[in-house]
Structure 1
Amino acid sequence: MNPLVLAVMRLFAAPRLDMRTDYPRVRRLQRRLASLPGTRYRAVDVRVPADERSIPVRVFRPREQRRDDLLVFFHGGGWVTGDIESYTPACAAMADLTGCIVASVDYRLAPEHPFPAGLDDCFAVTVALLADPSIVTVERPGRIVLVGDSAGGNLAAAVSLRLRDEQARGVDLQILLYPVTYWDHRPETSPFPSVREHGQDYRLTDREVQDYLDLYVPDVARRRQPLVAPLLATDLTEQPPTLVIPAELDLLHDEGVAYGRALAAAGDEVRIHTVAGALHGFITLPRFARPLREAYEVIDAFLDGEPDPGRPVPRMAGR
């Protein structure tokens, strides 16, 4: 990376908020930014019944529908921030760029609702849509595809594992964008070089991830459960065909690659594509951004069953 650009990124990474106390401020800022005038989109809000409550879901229709897949999206934000409002521009872009209907799930957030509340919501919506996709105004989807970024990628992986163990039917595909798959992001103890190489200088810091985990799973002992850290699952068989898209300059890069390789070792169909020069969170960039365009080229190829148009399986950082 250009030294000047790196210096600017370090400037923004240094004065980090303490997410354990400042998450309400971040949520308010996200809502204000989401309320700014933006791209027009076609969407309808529905509620999916789940036990004694219902879960909000925003359904986005593309300007031109080219595929009959239903993409069920779990947003990022460390299980603590983000919602269907703040991710509306990203989901509208996802619908238009894939030509698919996108259902964005507004799952409950920590710390008000710690693990497994958010996972339970994502699981409940997925089960409901597998049984009756007309709940989100989709009559006959060709395939149901889980998509998640960051913490949402973690939730997608966990939902797929739970579907195998608790349901007769799983989803058809899953797309994990720079997912969280491990529980320890301290540079002194993490097994991943990318945590030490990219945990201080860029969009997401190791301290921030640990703050999120403190809020999402306050009991440290529970963080090693596969539904929190999917990479620790002893059985990764019978998972849906998976596309993992890490960002090169992201502390989560190596654990995303490791999860993809673990799925492949278990006999699952896996494709891994690192977006070169990309930072954490690139799925929310404007549509003209190179990392976003590259990611959707790979997603399109994956949905169509074509070979990866990008590079071969990446190496771990520092190797």
Structure 2
Amino acid sequence: MKNTLKWVGILIFGIILLPLLAALFIYKKAVGKRDYDPEVLDNLEEAAQDYVKKKAPLSDVDSRYKYMRLAEKAIPAAKQIEIGDTEDKKIDGPAGKIPLRIYTPKEEGPYDIIIYFHGGGFITGGLQTHDTIARKLVQKTGARVVSVDYRLAPENPFPAAIEDAYATLLWAASHRTSLRNKNDQLIVAGDSTGANIAAVVAQLAKAKGQPEISKQILLYPATDIFSRDASVLYPSMDEFSEGYVLTKESLDKYFKLYLRNATDRKYDPLVAPIRSKDLSDLPKTFLVTAEYDPLRDQGEAYAEKLKNAGVPVFAKRFDKVPHDFMNTETAAAEETYNLIQEFLDEK
């Protein structure tokens, strides 16, 4: 009898308790340690303070699951952003299928077509993590947004993301009729490292002569790489090295994973678009930066270099917000969406 009870106990433990303990471990791993500095929060808008508290574990880039778990908390709110329709599809890419999500406004077309590349340090992120930004872009601008789930490092290091991004541009250009493109011109956009990809493919399209891109929207972009001279060129890299969501340490990890097999190309314009020797004739540019962001100075340096090359540029720094502020309910995020609408309406 005792042996029977013993085995029943072991069975119950194995079937019920072990999975619960495993789930608890995974949850704690996903939530992560809150490593923000409470003193820095006083510099931020109230909505941005709450965001920093929730997103501080982004500095740990070793767990993609952790990032996804945190980002997906925003998904229910994203679904409340009313638009016309969404469609998930896959297109042919250089190494297999590329997943896309096409967001359509409630209004009838034709539409501006925005090809959107999500941020996440080249190693995290996807269609779900940036669902809110895509929906708000559609709702605010009336454009149709094509969000791209490009290949991620370290499994697929540089240039995989760029190859997928450019392949998506070519697909969109060949499907202008079915996409109901307003003026047969495409717009590229992205945030953070997604803005890096947008800037790179804009240069690539110019070099190859196709497709035609009319405008680029760059939200707190990474335009150069993390390197020993980064702090000299861009003081914000050290000034906001930790405590504001994105950290100097995480940037170092991102680029090392992204360039795993191509460290000799770290200053290639396909990696660091600011390193291009010729920025003339690039698309009209919308570029915003955040005051408390290690990437702030290199984004603003890129805006200045574009202006010097004769490219029409709208550039604005938003105060009292950190990197990734477009995922917050701050006044800065709301104003940015309104400014993007005005930018798209300009001839």
TM range (shorter): 0.7 to 0.9
**Code of the aligned partner of 2:149:** D
Question: What is the aligned partner in structure 1 of residue 179 from structure 2?
Answer: 138
Is the radius of gyration larger for structure 1 or structure 2?
2
Match of 1:221 among 264, 272, 277: 264
Which residue number corresponds to residue 311 of structure 1? Answer: none
Query: Displacement of 1:278 after TM fit?
Result: 1.9
5+ unaligned residues in a row in structure 2: which ranges? 1-37
TM-score for both structures, normalised by structure 2: 0.78
Q: CA deviation at 1:11?
A: 7.4
Query: Which residue of the partner structure matches residue 202 of structure 2?
Result: 160
CA 1:66–1:192: 2 relative to 1, 3 Å? farther
Per the TM alignment, residue 276 of structure 1 is displaced from its structure 2 partner at its CA by 2.0
Q: What is the CA deviation profile of residues 167-223 of structure 1, one whole-angstrom value per residue up to 9, with x for unaligned ones?
A: 344311001000000112668744111112222231211111111111111243221
Distance 1:16 1:37 in 2: 20
Give the counterpart of 1:172 among 206, 214, 217: 214
User: Which protein is richer in helix relative to its size?
Assistant: 2
Tell me how far 1:66 sits from its aligned partner. 8.3
TM-score when normalising by structure 1: 0.85
Question: Percentage identity across aligned positions?
Answer: 31
Tell me which residue corresponds to 1:54.
Answer: 97
C-alpha displacement of 1:253:
0.9
Instruction: Assess, with a 3 A threshold, how the Cα gap between structure 1 residues 13 and 175 changes in structure 2: closer, same or farther.
Output: closer
Moved over 6 A (4+): 7-16
The residue matched to 1:79 in structure 2 has which SS? coil
Spell out, residue by residue over 1:299-318, the C-alpha distance to the aligned partner (whole angstroms, 9 max, x if none). Answer: 12211228xxxxxxxxxxxx
Of 166, 171, 180 in structure 2, the residue corresponding to residue 123 of structure 1 is 166
Q: Structure 1 residues 120, 170: CA separation in 2 closer, same or farther (over 3 Å shift)?
A: same
Q: Which moved more, 1:47-56 or 1:261-270?
A: 47-56
Post-superposition offset of 1:31: 4.6
In structure 2, C-alpha distance between the alignment counterparts of 1:47 and 1:13, rounded to whole Å: 30
What displacement does 1:2 show? 8.4
Match of 2:135 in 1: 92
User: Alpha carbons of 1:66 and 1:236: their partners in 2 closer, same or farther (altered >3 Å)?
Assistant: same
Alignment of 1:1-319 (within 5 A): 5-6=42-43, 17-19=59-61, 21-31=62-72, 34=75, 38-39=79-80, 41=83, 42-51=85-94, 53-64=96-107, 68-134=111-177, 137-142=178-183, 143-184=185-226, 189-218=231-260, 219-286=262-329, 289-305=330-346
1:57 counterpart letter in structure 2 = L
Q: Distance in 1 between matches of 2:39 and 2:296?
A: 20
Q: Residues 186 and 25 from structure 1, CA distance in 2 versus in 1: closer, same or farther, beyond 3 angstroms?
A: farther
CA deviation profile, 1:78-137 (whole Å, cap 9, x unmatched): 111110011112211111011111110110111111000011101100122123224xx4
Measure the CA separation in 2 of the matches of 1:168 and 1:131. 11
